[in-house]
Amino acid sequence: MVMVMHSQVNMSARIPRTDYVLVTASGVPYVNMGPDDIVTVDLQGQKVHAIHEPTSERAIHMMAYRTSPQVGGCVHVESPYV
């Protein structure tokens, strides 16, 4: 099992039946991240609601959601083990 440290992964999930997506926050270590640290963005990647800024990698996630409405979630891995 490989543990992901710091912020080597960016995750997102479409909120069903909306034009909104939940994404991981920029610069928040996952070991410290809680529900209030998740960022809500629209399909253009603009922050709608959050304490933090959204991941800088959100553009690639939004492209997947805009071009493929059936996509419900994305995981972008930046691991040295992949």
Confidence (pLDDT) at 60: 93
Cα–Cα nearest to 45, from 26, 20, 69, 25 = 20
Spatial separation of the C-alpha atoms in residues 1 and 70, rounded to whole Å: 30
pLDDT tens digit string along 17-41?
A: 999 999 999 988 888 889 999 999 9
Mean pLDDT of 41-49: 95
pTM score, whole prediction:
0.83
Residues 6+ apart with CB under 8 A from 70: none
Confidence (pLDDT) at 23: 96
Q: Is the pLDDT of residue 79 over 70?
A: no
